Amino acid sequence: MTRILFSMLAAVMLLISPARAQDNPVVVELYTSQGCSSCPPADAYLHKLVARGDVIALALHVDYWDYIGWKDVFGNKAWSDRQRGYAKTGGRRMVYTPQMIINGRDHVVGNRPRDVEELIDKHSRATHPVAVSATREGNRLTVTAQSAGGVNGAFEVVLVRFKPKELVEIKRGENAGKTLSYANIVTRIDPLKSWTGRAPLTIEAKMTGDQAGVILIQESGHGAVVAAARVN
């Protein structure tokens, strides 16, 4: 009888405990530009991160290097603003490329793999108070999320769409003459719902087109990413 009760208790604790690291991949956002001569090594490294099951790697191309001779074909002012939002939340006065933001919290130079790996390992070993999953049937997306006890905040649930891979021939600027490969190029970020975390969440939304997607649950105001899931 004691053994049975212990097994039942363990099962209950597993249900209510925070998500384990392997159930909640680390989100790496690379802020890059085709007009930045220091960025190609980081762009190449992102391909390796994309191949990892424990990481969601995303490339957000900024537009503030466009003035030096080459307009980034993926550049978007919204991504520049997102990067500046992270800097403001983190008390930093400047942004740079290539910059990687890890789970919305830590930043690191994107062409320094060893430093990036250390931060990924740090975040993968942490417990996660929120678990999220996302499934797609045709054009209908269903997102479910729940939190461990005590979670109470202001979160945003967003859908990120991206192109898995593109080759670009750079004709002008600092990278003129190079043909570069880019991975997981973010094309849009759509807010789906605000959430406090106090009660389980279910969202149904429209998702059209064939671009890949991931769901992020993030503290409002460019805060920490507390949960992430690929759209299956």
Q: Write down the domain spans for the chain.
A: 23-230
DSSP string of 100-114? Answer: EEETTTEEEETT-HH
Q: What are phi and psi of 123, to 5 degrees?
A: -75, -30
Q: Would you give per-residue pLDDT tens digits along the chain (232 residues)?
A: 434 333 333 333 333 344 443 468 999 999 999 999 999 999 999 999 999 999 999 999 999 999 999 999 999 999 999 999 999 999 999 999 999 999 999 999 999 999 999 999 999 999 888 999 999 999 999 999 999 876 778 999 999 999 999 999 999 999 999 999 999 999 999 999 999 999 999 999 999 999 999 999 999 999 999 999 999 8
- CATH superfamily for domain 23-230: Glutaredoxin (3.40.30.10)
CA atoms of 52 and 7, how far apart (whole Å): 33
CA atoms of 161 and 140, how far apart (whole Å): 15
End-to-end CA distance of the chain: 41
Q: What are phi and psi of 89, to 5 degrees?
A: -65, -35
Question: What pLDDT, on the 0 to 100 scale, is given for residue 150?
Answer: 66
Find the helix packing angle between 40-50 and 113-125, rounded to 10°: 30
SS3 assignment, position 177: coil
- Widest Cα–Cα separation across the chain: 75
pTM: 0.90
